[in-house]
Structures are given as structure tokens and as C-alpha cells.
Amino acid sequence: MQNEYDFIILGAGSAGCVLANRLSESGEYSVLIVEAGPMDNKLLIHIPAGVHSVYKDPSINWNYETEDEVDLEQRKIELPRGKVVGGSSSINSMVYMRGHPKDYDRWNDELGLKGWSYADCLPYFKAGETSERGANEWRGGSGPLGVSRARLVNPIFDAFLTAGETSGQGNSDDLNGFRPEGLARLDSTIRDGRRCSAAVAHLKPALSRPNLELVTHALVEQVLLENTRVTGARFQHQGKVRVIRARREVILSCGAIKSPQVLMLSGIGPATELNRHGITVRHEMPAVGRNLQDHLKIHCTWRCTQPITYHRVDRPWNKLKIGLRWLTKKTGFGASNIWEAGGLIYGNDEVDYPNLQYHFAPIVANYRGRKIILSQGFTLQADQLRPASKGTVTLTSANPADRPAVSFNYLSDDHDLRELVQAFRKINELVMQPAFIAFRGERTDPLPDVKSDSDIENWIRATASTDFHPSCSCRMGDDENSVVDGEMKVHGLEGLRVVDASVMPRIVSGNLNAPTQMIAARAADFILGKNPLEPEFASFHFQQVDKQQRRSGAVTVKPNREIAT
């Protein structure tokens, strides 16, 4: 390790890997990227079907859990976060979803983040991916991230899609394309049958550059402040404390849980919180660790009356066959992320774009510790996409090795519980469609006697859990409730940016890995002083229009939208 670099990136997760690649690309700048976990050398990381094993592996996982969630029966909710090169992109379920176009338009129009409309973000999504669908108005064909279409052939997937049509919940060929709503076979970050994490896509191809250095097993303690300028970082590595200087910038990319913790440990954050732990206030910022958001999910399971589900894959002979096929051909069940179908749907008539997300799997998996128990059935889970409840990340101590205190305050706003009750009813409406008759056995979770709103609410409080999408704890904006500006510079400081899912001002309506990589690619252009990519005004179909338009009977066509009733 040198003592000084042009850029220091703290965190080799989804954002950090993109930044390391882009900032070192020209060879002009020296870049150090610091990761708390190991290299992604475990084979199961790269086998897509190994996801159920790796996401609970303590050797590559921070294994966070929330504080007691008051409105979830005082339960602590497990919160896995990747502690490995690639971050959570190395342990997640690999679903590739960008969020809805209207999410970004609202950032731009309602929150004043000019330049963050979907038209501004779309070229970065496209430049970042190589989609099996090929390059078109919505998709990219020559980027570093491999994106594959679902491949498992199973009649229950067909039943799922048919039920979407007959229930009125709709269908889509591509939820990241022209019709971002309805039920669909999903895309995943899989390339040639292997997980295509941010490390595989962006970082590893760049590590041969002499101006890029990766340090693993390094625990960040704090960033270093001299007056109002951040000059470097301090971290523990191989039993020593290292202080490394940054000639240009330090970029904090530790994720929505760890990034606010590092800021507070550095004396940047709410004064009352810092004083509580004896940390000198270097730069007071009340918004650090506030506005935390997540997607709360419910999941329902049914027995399957036909042996077409994947409940036998854990038997020794089947595991051997699946493993050999994957090792030799990179095909078959081993090359699947299992959650190959899903959807974006409307839970009620009041929302102007989908507020619920499905993930569907032809399997029922339960855990006993880390052991997976499979049964013959299928699982349909639903996320509430735009929660009104907001939480906090605070400190438990001034020791960097101690976990932060995470409170999402799930269901603290009644709006969220109402939407999850609607989600439950939509799930059951879908599975009761004729297309499922040949496969649908008894509902096993919740049991069939859960019917009334009161029963459903009690079941939600007792069983709902995270879909692993923490975000927004260092939000972008230009007011006292924000931490960074629209170019992700920390307000009031020089030489420091935060670039990861924590900067989202509002959580997007979908999975977070693709948006986080897009955000990092945009940040790289800001950092390097490059002109942003030209906006691209793609067309989209929306089932519903704004309330005002519905009431007036008018339909407005914006330059980058096709709105159809």
C-alpha cells in the first residue's frame, strides 16, 4: 500500500466496484478500494442456485439485525448485508430491476433533484448492461453487467403468467422496458450461467491496472477531517491501523447501514447522537442516518398437487447431478436464481403506478438455523414498494467493530399496513385463478383460517420481514433533511462523497442493485468532470394515469412517456 492515492473508495460493494473501474479507467489517477470482507472466492457465490446458502453465510455477511420493531410484535428482523468483494451483489437473489420510471421523475420534479429524471438515468442503465434481449430503446447491449432472461421451463410459471391476465393484474414482456407493470419472467444478473456480481462485472477486469489497488479484510474506522476538508481515511488491516491520504476525494460506498455509521464515527452527524457516545462533533449534520427506508415483504405458500416443484433438489444424488451439469455446462437448475418470475402490480385504484412487487418461486424453503428445509409447494411474496414509515441508523458505541443500531420503524404509519393487507388479497386473488387449479393445494402460510382484515393484520405483524433493500439514510437533496447534494458531495465539506443506495431520496419501486450501479456510474462522471450522457426519452405504457387526469378524462403525453388508459 502507498501512503497516498488520488481517490480512496471505502467499500467494494455494488457502487464501489463501479467507481473503482470507472475512476481507474484512464490510467491518470491512482485508486485504492478498501473492503472489510474477503475476496469472492467461495464457489457457491458464483453458482446462482447457491443463493439460499450464501446469503446467510457468516463469513461473507455482516449479519445485522434490527432493534426490536415495535409494530412487528417487538421482533428483531434479520438483515443480511454483503461483507465480501462485490458486497450484497455477491449474496443477493440477482433479480435485475431498475425501479419504475416515475420514481426518478419524482426525484426530479417533486424533490428538486434536477438531472435525475428517468430520461437522465436511462442511458446509464443501458451503458451498464449487456442484456440478452439485445440493445433497443430500453436495454443495453455492450455494457459490463451481464443480464439474462429467465430460463427454467416449468408449467407453474405459465400458470402464474396466465393468472396475471385473467385476474386483471396484467402481463409484461419486460418490466424494465415499455410496460413496467404486470406479471413477467424476470431478468437476473447472471452471465453464462454464473452470478455476474458487481465484482465480476466491474472490479475484477480492472484489477490488472497498475493504478488500482484493492485491500480486503480492512475495517474502516473513520474518514479524516482537516477543518472542512476530508483528507483521507483510517482503517484496521492485518492487525495495524493504517492512515491513507487522498489527493482528490474520499468516496464512502459502504451501503445504507454502514455509510452513516462511518460518518458518525468520523464526527459527522447529529450532535446529540455523537455526544451520547463521546465522539467529538466535527461537522454537525442532523440528517445522517435518518430517512432510512426498506421494502417490507409478506410471503404466502401453497402445497403443490403435482411433483413439478423443486423440492427434491437437496437430495444427495440430485445435488450431484445439478452440480456436475453446472460445472460442465453452466446450465440447468444450478444456473437459476430460483426467483424467476414476479411482477409489479397495483394494490388499489388510488396509486398512479404499481405499489406492490411480486417474487414467485416453484419451491417452499424454510430455515432451521442455516439448514434449508424444502417442501413440495410454491411461494409468492409481495413487497410494499413505497413505504410511508421511515427509520434510523444510530450508533451502539464509538467502536467501529460494533454493529450500528438499525430501526426501520416498520408499519409505524398505518398506510403501510393497509397496503400489505391489499397485497395479501392480491396474492390470493391471483392464486385462486383457474390457471392454478391443476397445481394449487392447501395454503400453508398463513393457514386457511386467516381471512378477515384483523386476522391478516395480525399475521403480517407476526411474520413480515425485509426484502433486503435498505436505502435513503444519507439522502440527496438541498435542505437540512439531506446529507449530500445532487452530485453526492457531502454538504459543507470538501473532498467527500457518499455513493451507494443510502443517497436515494426515496426508495425506488423495485430491487436496488441495478439502481445502485447506475447511481455509481453517474457519480463517476461527476467526479471526473465529464459531461453526463445525453438523456434518452423512451416511451412507456401505464395502465393508470394521475388522479387529476382520471377525474378530468384527459390524458397527457409527456416527451418521454406514452400514457395509455
β-bridge pairing 145-149 and 187-188: antiparallel
The answer to whether 295 is a known catalytic residue is no
Separation CA 493–CA 343 (nearest Å) = 42
- For residue 258, the number of C-alpha atoms closer than 13 Å in the C-beta half-sphere is 31
Grid coordinates given for 346: 397495483
- CATH architecture of the domain covering 1-149+193-294+398-410+470-528: 3-Layer(bba) Sandwich (3.50)
- CATH architecture of the domain covering 151-185+296-384+411-463: 2-Layer Sandwich (3.30)
Residue 401: phi, psi to the nearest 5?
Answer: -80, -15
Query: Which residue in 378, 380, 365, 358 sits closest to 308, CA to CA?
Result: 378
Query: Which residue in 302, 340, 375, 417 sits closest to 175, CA to CA?
Result: 340
Separation CA 234–CA 219 (nearest Å) = 9
User: What distance, in Å, lies between the first and last C-alpha atoms of the chain?
Assistant: 59
Grid coordinates given for 457: 393484520
Separation CA 465–CA 476 (nearest Å) = 26
> Please, which contacts does 536-539 make with residues 24 or more away whose CB atoms are closer than 8 Å?
536/119, 536/122, 536/123, 536/126, 536/137, 537/119, 538/119, 538/122, 538/137, 538/138, 538/178, 539/137, 539/178
Separation CA 293–CA 357 (nearest Å) = 16
The whole-number mean pLDDT for each consecutive block of 10 residues of the chain, a chain of 565 residues, reads 96 98 98 98 96 90 96 97 98 97 97 97 98 97 97 96 97 97 98 98 98 98 97 97 98 98 98 97 98 98 95 87 94 94 96 97 84 90 98 98 98 98 98 98 97 97 97 97 98 98 98 98 98 97 61 44 40
Q: Where are the domains of the chain?
A: 1-149+193-294+398-410+470-528, 151-185+296-384+411-463, 539-565
Grid coordinates given for 540: 412507456
Query: Which residue in 526, 524, 521, 482 sits closest to 504, CA to CA?
Result: 482
The C-alpha R_g of the chain, in whole angstroms, comes to 23
The 3-state secondary structure of 230-247, one letter per residue: EEEEEEEECCEEEEEEEE
Give the other-Cβ count within 10 Å of 28's Cβ: 10
Length of the chain: 565
Buried b (16+ CB within 10 A) or exposed e, 158-173: ebbbbbbeebebbbbe
Active-site entry in 202, 283, 299, 469: 469
Separation CA 90–CA 65 (nearest Å) = 19
Burial class (CB in 10 A: 0-12, 13-18, 19+), 329: exposed
Cell 395454503, residue? 443
Separation CA 525–CA 446 (nearest Å) = 48
| Confidence (pLDDT) at 92 | 97
